[in-house]
Amino acid sequence: MKLIFLGPPGAGKGTLAARAVDLITVPHISTGAIFRSAIAAKSPLGLTVKAIIDSGKLVDDEATVKLVRERLAQQDVQKGYILDGFPRTIAQAEALAGFSKADKVVNFDIPDTAVLERLSGRRVCRQCGINYHIIFNKPQKEYVCDACGGEVYVRDDDREEAVRKRLEVYREQTAPLIDFYRRQGLLVDVDAQPGTEGVVSNFKKALGI
C-alpha cells in the first residue's frame, strides 16, 4: 500500500506512521526526518537546509523532489510506503505523480488549538528521531529516550516564532493539496483529535484494515 500522510505540523503524522508501519509493513519516509539527519551529519544538504527549516519555511521543491525521487527508486519501497510530510506543495504533488502513484492520501483532520498544544509540548530524540510529548507521551526519564538513551530535545523549528510561520506556510502552500487529492478521489479523512490509540483505530477504520 502506497500512502501519503497529509496534515498540518503537529497533527500526529509521524506518531501514527510509527504505528502504521507495523500494520501494513511498509517503510516510513519522512522528508523532515531525512532533513534533520542531514543537518545532524552536517552533510552538504544539511548545511543548505538548516536555516530555512529553522525559520519555518519550506525547502525548495527541486531539492525536495530529487530527494524523494531517489528514495522511491530503492528496492524496499516498491510494494509500498508511507510518505510523511511530502508532498507539501502542488508542484511537489505534480512532480510525484510523474514517478509514483499513491493509493490513498490520509488527511489528518485536526483543529489549530490541538495542533498548537501538540507542537508546544513536542520533544524529539536527537539520535533515533522518536517523538515524545511533555504531557501526552513522556519519556520515562526526562530528557532521555526510552528506545535508545539519546538526548530528548526541542526541535529548533518548534519554537514559537517558527511554529507561527509553519502554520501560515501550511495554510497557504499545503492545504490546497486537500482539494487537489479529493478531486482525484484519493483522499481519506481521519479524525486526528483523539489520543494515539483513538487515531490508530480511526486510521484502521478509514482504510478498512
Q: Which residues are catalytic?
A: 13, 88, 122, 155, 166
For ligand ADP, which residue of 31, 93, 102, 181 counts as binding (CB under 6 A)? 31
CA 175 to chain centre: 14
Q: How far apart are CA 15 and CA 55, in angstroms?
A: 23
For ligand ADP, which residue of 6, 29, 53, 106 counts as binding (CB under 6 A)? 53
Number of C-beta neighbours around residue 105 at 10 A: 24
Are 165 and 55 a contacting pair, CB within 8 Å? yes
**Which residue, 54 or 182, is less far from ligand ADP as judged by CB?**
54
Among Zn ion, ligand ADP, none, residue 150 binds (CB under 5-8 Å by kind): Zn ion
Q: How far apart are CA 119 and CA 57, in angstroms?
A: 16
**Which residue, 73 or 128, is less far from Zn ion as judged by CB?**
128
Give me the least distance between CB of 134 and Zn ion, in Å please: 16
129 binds ligand ADP (CB under 6 A): no
Amino acid making up residue 25: T
Strands 81-84, 2-6: pairing kind: parallel
Amino acid making up residue 17: A
150 binds Zn ion (CB under 5 A): yes
152 binds Zn ion (CB under 5 A): no
- What is residue 153's three-state secondary structure? strand
Q: Which three cell numbers stand for residue 32?
A: 523532515
**Which residue, 28 or 186, is less far from ligand ADP as judged by CB?**
28
Give the contact letters, 132-151, x = binds to ligand ADP (CB under 6 A), - = no: xx--xx--------------
Residues that bind Zn ion (CB under 5 A): 125, 127-128, 130, 145, 147-148, 150
